[in-house]
Amino acid sequence: MKKIIVLLLTAGAVLLSCKNQKSENSQAKVTENMNKTIYDYKVEGLDGGEINFADFKGKKILVVNTASECGFTPQYADLEKLSKDYPEKLVIVGFPANNFGGQEPGTNKEIGAFCEKNFGVTFPMAAKVSVKGDDTAPIFKFLTKKELNGVKNTAILWNFTKFLIDENGNLIDSFISTTKPTSESITKYLK
């Protein structure tokens, strides 16, 4: 009987130790993820180059998932205006995505030509990515998951969802598609 009690106590201690170790490992992983900023990300540019978010340290960054055939596509003009109005304070980075209604069917080259011809876009544009689903780009996982960005979970419901990042690479807030880039809810952070 004594042997059974000793074995049970030993097994319980081992299980408790394993549980504590697993909890510590989970906490370490959460802490590691929480220490990430947008500066930890590099993405392919629309022109084939690289966009390194660490190059934008000291400025706010507005990340927008874009599409060429969307009802919100005219927001490109407001995004360009915003980038011209606050060149010392803000960098806008567009991410073409075909996740909603097939509204970004073009190639990177076609998207670039469309943006330049129709809206005179001069701000950085990333190569086409996925912003939701199993193939979500890592930067959008960071932007949409509180466990990674430390601020909030955001469900991207449509094209032209916006994410505002502070001068230290941390998420400030996200804005739904109907929020115009030049709205006070965004520009109040730039004044």
Active site residue 70: yes
CA 108 to centroid of chain Cα atoms: 19
Q: Are residues 86 and 174 in the same domain?
A: yes
Q: Which of 43, 61, 70, 126 is catalytic?
A: 70
111 vs 158: CA distance, rounded Å: 18
In terms of residue numbers, what domain contains 64? 38-187
Q: Are residues 5 and 87 in the same domain?
A: no
187 vs 191: CA distance, rounded Å: 7
Q: Are residues 1 and 87 in the same domain?
A: no
Q: Are residues 128 and 46 in the same domain?
A: yes
Would you tell me the crossing angle of helices 108-119 and 75-85 to the nearest 10 degrees? 70
Q: Are residues 106 and 166 in the same domain?
A: yes
Q: Are residues 49 and 107 in the same domain?
A: yes
Amino acid making up residue 2:
K
- List, as one string, the DSSP characters of 166-177: -TTS-EEEEE-T
The residue assigned the tokens 């069917």 is: 105
Q: Which CATH number do you get for residue 76?
A: 3.40.30.10
Residues 6+ apart with CB under 8 A from 31: none
Q: Are residues 51 and 29 in the same domain?
A: no
Q: Are residues 50 and 27 in the same domain?
A: no
Task: Give the pLDDT confidence of 23-75 residue by residue, as tens digits.
Answer: 555 454 444 556 789 999 999 999 999 999 999 999 999 999 999 999 999 99
Q: Are residues 88 and 137 in the same domain?
A: yes
Q: Are residues 86 and 1 in the same domain?
A: no
The Cβ of residue 112 has, within 10 Å, a number of other Cβ atoms equal to 19
Q: Are residues 18 and 50 in the same domain?
A: no
Q: Are residues 11 and 92 in the same domain?
A: no
pTM strictly above 0.85: no
- The HSE-up count of residue 59 (CA atoms within 13 Å, CB side) is 16
Task: Give the pLDDT confidence of 96-140 residue by residue, as tens digits.
Answer: 999 999 999 999 999 999 999 999 999 999 999 999 999 999 999
Domain count, the chain: 2
For 9, the token pair is 């106590």
